[in-house]
A and B are shown apart, each in its own frame.
Chain A
Amino acid sequence: MRRLEMIVSRLAWFVPTLAGLVVIVFLISNVIPTDPVRVLLGENATPAQVEAMRVQLGYDQPLWVQLARHFRDVLSGNLGTSIYTQRPISEDLAQRLPATLELTLVAITLSIALGIPLGVISALRRNSLWDHVVRVLSVSGLAIAAFWLAMLLQFLFAMKLGAAPLNSRIDGFGPTPVTGFMIVDSLLDWDMDSLRSALSHMALPALTLALPAAATIVRFTRAGVLDVINSNHVLYQRAMGMPPGLIVWKYVLRNALTSTVTQIGLIFGVLVTNAVIVETVFDWPGIGTFAVQSILQSDHKAIIGFTIWIGALIVIVNLLVDIVHSFIDPRGTR
């Protein structure tokens, strides 16, 4: 029952959090700049154009009216039109979201598959050579700028070694778009060529995102395992002759993971934001490249729309992570 209470209370805060986010974004776009309309039109607008736009967009109205309109727009999905693509922003974002999601999910899976075992083994062989190497690598992983790592990997593997494609998501037309996830769609079509192409194109971008995330996961898993290894319940199981493999992989791991799981929510947030930047380097057609191009075009409304979407996505993911965490840890230590 405690779990249900927790979920309900988190859901209750979900809506105000999103609402607050929208308000903050509104303040950023309409209140901070001295003249938001000028920001929208760019520097070359004449005073007459500015004035006309101001009335058209309702900037002459009192602030709370503007805010109400803003909410109405956001809730109805109307985020304005992109200068860059001349299409509704929400349409652009929706079309590109699956690419970013697919990349992020693959990257997180990779980082978990890499990070957790390395963290566990590193803890079990504390202070061995293996442990030192892993720790040096994981500390380094946190100091590298993601976009620079992207360029580095691109340089090494694509340009120099030719082992992976340079950019974009797939060669040719790809599978019939059903979900927007190339891997899923290729399997649905049983299109092995598309699958292979999609996977090879995803390799470098996913690796770029996965490595720093794996570094964080290794650190937390290692610390978590070390913490648990020294606990009394592990001592008890050892004293009662439980098989050592069982103690580590069934019991210690689960205790260590409870702290890692909360970190994964954090990591996902970092991953998504890194994805935004990394996408540009690889010409990956996700919301990240959309955002970057909007920045370059000074497409203000698009940036705002993007911010709201990314914010909402991350809040949703954190909520899901908390729910999962509640299933793993019955104590409800929140």
Chain B
Amino acid sequence: MPGWRRGLGRFARDRAAALGVTLLVVLIVLAIFAPILAPYPGDVSDFHTANRLHAPDAANWLGTDRMGSDLLSRIVFGARITITIAFVAVGSAVVVGVPIGLLAGYYGGWPSNLLMRVSDIFLAVPQIVLAIAIAQTLGPSIENVILALSVTYWPFWARLVFAETRSLKNEVFIESAIALGASPWRVMVLHVLPNIASAIIVRTSIGMGGTILTAAALGFLGLGAPAPTPEWGRMIAESREFLPEAWWYATAPGVAIFVVVMGFNLVGDGLRDFLDPRIRRGASGNGAGGT
């Protein structure tokens, strides 16, 4: 499709999106090659109490924490946790929610409506409220955080896909596909899904950012993995008692979170402009060259 090429060009020229992609690439590289890139890979669990709370210097670029561990290394390893949480939580929510929404939207009827009402209840309260309850019940661990996040996130996708499927079902091209004898499976996968794919992709990227913030909040509250796991939210919580002297201790993980979430948000925005030309910025609506 020729439109794709032009859109891709636009995406490439979109500096904000390019920045976002760069940030994400850095994040993924850090996560994958953490053992190689971190200056003190052992500091994930080792501690050197003699070295505690040192300001940033040549040996420790970001300083050390309360156990004397190198902050930079811990943050690099924390990237692994962040990515894991983001991808698994959002991924599972999408994998569960999208098919549910498709089926509910396609078949309709009272089971679908009931399902959607249940989703509405989940969506009536912000994700973190229920996530706190779930995480606290299950106990502090990364797996439980992921579980809490995905359980509270799938209704969003189910609702979104349900609404889109239902409105698409009234479109002529779907009606004709059904009239021609296409099986429901075929209609859903080959006709409906491609049409809603761009909306899903855009929201996935932005959803990753939001999930990371929520996960960090859970970590901050102590509901994430226990020490000494280098989870960024937990590190910020640990740093609180050492302010204002050990400013580096609180700054580093906070900046890391900020940079990563920014990356996902920028990419999401860029994808939206790229995939949905209807809402292109800069289009003047009062008729450039009317009749």
Direct chain A–B contact by Cβ atoms under 8 Å? yes
User: Residues of A with Cβ closer than 8 Å to B?
Assistant: 16-17, 20-21, 24-25, 28-29, 32-33, 39, 127, 139-140, 142-148, 151-152, 154-155, 159-160, 230-231, 235, 269-270, 272-273, 276-277, 281, 291-292, 295-296, 298, 300, 303-304, 307, 310-311, 314-315, 318
> When chains A and B are docked, how far (Å) is the Cα of A312 from the Cα of B117?
16
User: Given B217, B244, B247, B286, which contacts A147 in the complex, CB threshold below 8 Å?
Assistant: B217
Name B's interface SS: helix
Contact at B126–A32, with CB atoms within 8 Å? Answer: no
Bound CA–CA A276/B124 (angstroms): 17
Cβ contact of A311, chosen from B120, B129, B217, B220, cutoff 8 A? B129
New A-B pairs, 11, CB < 8 Å, besides A140-B258, A145-B233, A269-B125: A25-B133, A28-B130, A28-B134, A139-B262, A139-B266, A144-B254, A145-B216, A147-B217, A155-B243, A295-B223, A315-B125
**Chain A proximity of B154: nearest CB distance (Å):** 13
Residues of A within 8 A of B133 (CB): 25, 28-29, 303-304, 307
B59 interface contact, C-beta 8 A = no
A295 and B124 alpha carbons, distance in the complex (Å): 23
With a cutoff of 8 Å between Cβ atoms, the chain B residues found around residue A155 in the complex are 243-244, 247, 250
Minimum CB–CB distance from B269 to chain A (whole Å) comes to 8
B124 near A21: Cβ-Cβ < 8 Å: yes
Q: Knowing A139-B265, A143-B209, A295-B221 are in contact, say whether A310-B125 is a contact too (CB < 8 A).
A: yes
Contact of A230 among B209, B236, B258, B285 (CB under 8 A): B285
Say yes or no: is B137 at the interface (Cβ < 8 Å to chain A).
Answer: yes
Known: A139-B265, A143-B209. A151 touches B137 (CB 8 A): no
Please count how many residues in chain B sit with their CB below 8 Å of the partner chain's CB atoms. 45
Contacts of A154 in B (CB 8 A): 243
Query: Which residue numbers of B lie inside 8 Å of A, CB to CB?
Result: 16, 117-118, 120-122, 124-126, 128-130, 132-134, 136-138, 209, 213, 216-217, 220-223, 233, 236, 240, 243-244, 247, 250, 254, 257-258, 261-262, 265-266, 269, 282, 284-286
- Could you give 21 example pairs across A and B, Cβ below 8 Å? A17-B120, A24-B121, A28-B130, A28-B134, A139-B262, A139-B266, A142-B209, A143-B265, A145-B217, A145-B233, A145-B254, A145-B257, A147-B217, A148-B236, A152-B254, A270-B126, A272-B126, A276-B128, A311-B129, A314-B125, A318-B124
Contact A151 B243 (CB under 8 A): yes
Task: Return chain A residues, CB-CB under 8 Å to B262.
Answer: 139-140, 143
Nearest chain A CB to B214's CB is how many angstroms away?
9
Q: Tell me the smallest distance from the CB of A224 to a CB of chain B, in Å.
A: 13
Check A142 against B265 for contact (C-beta < 8 Å). yes
Chain A min CB distance to B277 (Å): 16
Q: How far is the CA of A277 from the CA of B128 in the complex (A)?
A: 10
CA distance A24 to B243 in the complex (A): 39
Give the distance to chain B from A85, nearest Cβ to Cβ, in Å.
Answer: 18
What's the nearest-Cβ distance from chain A to residue B210, in Å? Answer: 9
Task: Please name all residues of chain A whose beta carbon is closer than 8 Å to the beta carbon of B236 when the two chains form the complex.
Answer: 145, 147-148, 151
Contacts of B220 in A (CB 8 A): 145, 147, 277
**What residues on B are CB-neighbors of A270 within 8 Å?**
126
Q: Quick check: A303 and B121 within 8 Å, CB to CB?
A: no
Cα of A303 to Cα of B134 in the assembled complex, Å: 10
